[in-house]
Amino acid sequence: MEAQVDVVIMGAGIGGSSAAIQLAEKGHHVLLLDRQEFPRHKTCGEFMSPETKEMLKFIGVDPLQLGIKPATMNRARIVLQNGKEMEARLPGQALGISRYDLDLMLHAKAQESGVDIKTKVMITNIEQLEDQSYVIETKQGQSLVTYRAKAVIGAYGIRKPRGIHSAQETEQTALKNAEVFVGIKSHYTGIQAEDEVELYFCDGGYVGISPVGNGVVNIAALLSLDSVQRSGKSVKDILSGAAFTNSRLSHRLAEGVAVEGTQVSISPVRLSEVPEPWSFFPHIGDAMLMIPPLCGDGMSIALRSSMICSAVTDQYLHGKLTYLEWESHYTMNAKREFTDLLHRAKIVQKVAFSKANRVLPLMGRMFPMLPSYLVKSTRLSEMGVSKS
Ligand SMILES: Cc1cc2nc3c(=O)[nH]c(=O)nc-3n(C[C@H](O)[C@H](O)[C@H](O)COP(=O)(O)OP(=O)(O)OC[C@H]3O[C@@H](n4cnc5c(N)ncnc54)[C@H](O)[C@@H]3O)c2cc1C
* Atom 15 of ligand 1, residue of closest alpha carbon: 298
Q: Ligand 1: does its nearest atom lie under 6 Å from the Cβ of 73?
A: no
Ligand 1 atom with the smallest distance to the CA of 288 is 26
Burial profile 19-37: b = 16 or more Cβ within 10 angstroms, e = fewer:
bbbbbbbbebbbbbbbbee
Q: Ligand 1: does its nearest atom lie under 6 Å from the Cβ of 60?
A: no
Ligand 1 atom with the smallest distance to the CA of 122 is 42
Cα 325 from chain centre: 27
Q: Under DSSP, is residue 269 helix (H, G, I), strand (E, B) or coil?
A: strand
Contact 290, 269 (CB under 8 A): yes
Average pLDDT, the chain: 88
Q: What is the mean pLDDT of residues 330-355?
A: 86
Residue 255 pLDDT > 50, yes or no?
A: yes
The answer to whether the bond into 50 is cis (omega within 30° of 0) is no
At residue 88 the predicted structure's pLDDT band, cuts being 50, 70 and 90, is: confident
Q: Ligand 1: does its nearest atom lie under 6 Å from the Cβ of 204?
A: no
Q: What separation in angstroms does the CA of 138 have from each of 8, 119, 141, 158?
A: 12, 11, 10, 19
Element (H, E) at 229: helix 225-231
Q: Ligand 1: does its nearest atom lie under 6 Å from the Cβ of 156?
A: yes
Q: Ligand 1: does its nearest atom lie under 6 Å from the Cβ of 219?
A: no
Are β-strands 30-33 and 116-118 bridged in parallel, bridged antiparallel, or unpaired? Answer: parallel
CA 253, CA 241: separation in Å to the nearest integer? 12
Supply the pLDDT for residue 163: 62
67 vs 356 pLDDT, higher one: 67
| Ligand 1 mean position, distance from CA 13 (Å) | 6
* Atom 29 of ligand 1, residue of closest alpha carbon: 13
| Ligand 1 mean position, distance from CA 219 (Å) | 16
* Atom 7 of ligand 1, residue of closest alpha carbon: 45
At residue 360 the predicted structure's pLDDT band, cuts being 50, 70 and 90, is: low
Q: Ligand 1: does its nearest atom lie under 6 Å from the Cβ of 15?
A: yes
Model confidence over 290-339: pLDDT tens digits? 988 776 689 999 999 999 999 999 999 999 999 999 999 999 999 999 99
Q: What is the mean pLDDT of residues 162-178?
A: 55
CA 147, CA 2: separation in Å to the nearest integer? 5
Closest by CA to 265, choosing from 181, 184, 159, is 184
Ligand 1 atom with the smallest distance to the CA of 300 is 11
Q: Ligand 1: does its nearest atom lie under 6 Å from the Cβ of 33?
A: yes
Burial profile 222-241: b = 16 or more Cβ within 10 angstroms, e = fewer:
bbbeebbeebeeebeebbeb
